Amino acid sequence: MYNRLINIDHNMTDSIMLFGPRGTGKTYWLKQQFPNNLFFDLLHSETYLELSANPSLLENRIPNAYDGWIILDEIQKIPALLNEVHRLIEHKKLRFILTGSSARSLRRKGVNLLAGRALTYHMHPLTAQELSDDFDLHYALQYGTLPKAYQTKKPTNYLKSYVKTYLKEEVQQEALTRNLNLFTRFLTVASFTQGEVLNYTNIAREIGSNRQTVTNFFEILEDILIASRIPIFNKRAKRDLIAQPKFYYFDTGVFRVIRPRGPLDSDEELSGASLETLFLQQARAINDYLELNYEIYYWRTHYQHEVDFVFYGPHGLLAFEIKRKQQLTSKDFRGIKLFKNDYPMASCYVIYGGHRKYFEQNIQVIPFEETILNLQQLLSAP
């Protein structure tokens, strides 16, 4: 097992909600960290049938005077249990750890998310720091960093199965959409927008649907935690900026297995999107695990000057431009230099495929692999 950066105080008195996509290691990590505590696997048929039929039976399964943690794995399978959990927290002062891979399923059934009664944590694919000596940049760009994708001898087969499982268990069983075939086509079309500004109308035209359906589909992807939309950074904007967000699947391996390959797909296009995806998934994990509280954006003017990622929070303002090429030219610095002019307090970086670390005026240039390996320090102390 890899040593994860996530840290939950075993002695805290608050209950916890641990969200994360399937396959990020929530269940395994909890069983390792809390081995002698009550554990209810809601994917287990007998447990699911018993508690879904009568959520109040949960109390009967908890010993009298029990003072340990009560872990409910995949709570979105029985959202009604949250009301029972709420009652047991309030009246019996019990402590729960609830895991979930779909916030949508909880919200859409009209139950509360224990607001104010449970701290929220997130688990992500493995980081380079967690993988340590096992980290391989080329492997991570191709297959991502989900734990099983790193441990299996057939990562492509695992990732294909992973995507099918998500479609079956999170979308079909939860009835998030009535047209699974249309949603499947949407997943493929969405993969061509990885790292790109979204055009909902064009996507709707490609899948033969309408803009509202496409918007709903993107919301489903976000709610089942396998994708995100990155908004534009427009705080105290000095230029005309575009308004639409950019889109990313949460893991490079998942992105690449959804994205079809053919004679019209260039390696450069795929590599560029994979680099941005890997950077984002690593940065989001570190941001959550270390509680850095950055909000993540991108920046782009109407004249197509762009910065791939902007981090804004109590630790400062950071801007990152990702380039796959090994040799940079003055053109590669135009967007980030304009951003630096507008926000002189920002720490600005160009991350590239070369091997030399240097400064271009007040822009720091760092090799991509070095950045990933040292991202924790880079985000913690700008």
Domains of the chain are: 15-122 (3.40.50.300), 128-380 (no CATH)
- Within 13 Å, how many C-alpha atoms sit on residue 49's CB side? 3
Q: At what angle do helices 180-191 and 200-207 cross, to 10 degrees?
A: 130
pTM equals: 0.93
Query: Looking at the predicted structure, is the pLDDT value of residue 53 above 80?
Result: yes
Give the pLDDT confidence score for residue 249 in this predicted structure.
Answer: 96
Give the pLDDT confidence score for residue 175 in this predicted structure.
Answer: 56
Q: What is the mean pLDDT of the chain?
A: 90
What mean pLDDT do residues 78-104 have?
Answer: 89
Give the pLDDT confidence score for residue 314 in this predicted structure.
Answer: 93
Looking at the DSSP bridge assignments, the partners of residue 351 are 322, 366
Q: With cut-offs at 50, 70 and 90, classify the pLDDT of residue 366.
A: very high
More confident residue, 278 or 165: 278
Query: Looking at the predicted structure, is the pLDDT value of residue 373 above 60?
Result: yes
What mean pLDDT do residues 197-216 have?
Answer: 94
What mean pLDDT do residues 74-95 have?
Answer: 90
- Order of strands across the sheet that contains 358-360: 295-300, 306-313, 316-322, 347-352, 363-367, 358-360
Give the pLDDT confidence score for residue 280 in this predicted structure.
Answer: 98
Query: Looking at the predicted structure, is the pLDDT value of residue 51 above 50?
Result: yes
Rounded CA-CA distance 202/200 in Å is 6
| Range with the poorest average pLDDT among 118-132, 172-186, 335-349 | 172-186
Q: Tell me whether strands 38-41 and 227-230 are parallel, antiparallel or unpaired.
A: unpaired
In the block, tokens 């087969």 appear at 157
Plot region of 12 (φ>0 → left; ψ -120 to 50 → alpha; else → beta): beta
More confident residue, 23 or 108: 23
Instruction: Express each pLDDT in 211-232 by its tens digit.
Output: 999 999 999 899 889 999 999 9
Structure tokens at 103: 């916030």
Please state, as a whole number, how many other Cβ atoms lie within 10 Å of the Cβ of residue 173. 11
Q: By three-state DSSP, how is residue 166 classified?
A: helix
- 3-state helix, strand and coil shares in percent for the chain, rounded to the nearest 5: 45, 20, 35
Strand ranges (E), the chain: 15-19, 38-41, 69-73, 95-100, 118-122, 227-230, 246-249, 295-300, 306-313, 316-322, 347-352, 358-360, 363-367
The DSSP call for residue 5 is S
Give the pLDDT confidence score for residue 94 in this predicted structure.
Answer: 94
More confident residue, 242 or 140: 140
Nearest to 370 by CA among 123, 135, 24: 135
What mean pLDDT do residues 302-312 have?
Answer: 93
Q: Report the percent of the chain where pLDDT is more than 70.
A: 92
Give the pLDDT confidence score for residue 112 in this predicted structure.
Answer: 58
Pair 379, 311: CB distance under 8 Å: yes
Rounded CA-CA distance 312/316 in Å is 6
Query: Looking at the predicted structure, is the pLDDT value of residue 262 above 90?
Result: no
What mean pLDDT do residues 168-176 have?
Answer: 67
Chain centroid, CA 61 distance in Å: 34
Give the pLDDT confidence score for residue 193 in this predicted structure.
Answer: 95
Rounded CA-CA distance 224/1 in Å is 25
Pair 47, 40: CB distance under 8 Å: yes
Q: With cut-offs at 50, 70 and 90, classify the pLDDT of residue 116.
A: low
Q: With cut-offs at 50, 70 and 90, classify the pLDDT of residue 110.
A: very low
What mean pLDDT do residues 268-273 have?
Answer: 74
Give the pLDDT confidence score for residue 83 in this predicted structure.
Answer: 87
Give the pLDDT confidence score for residue 215 in this predicted structure.
Answer: 94
What mean pLDDT do residues 147-151 have?
Answer: 93
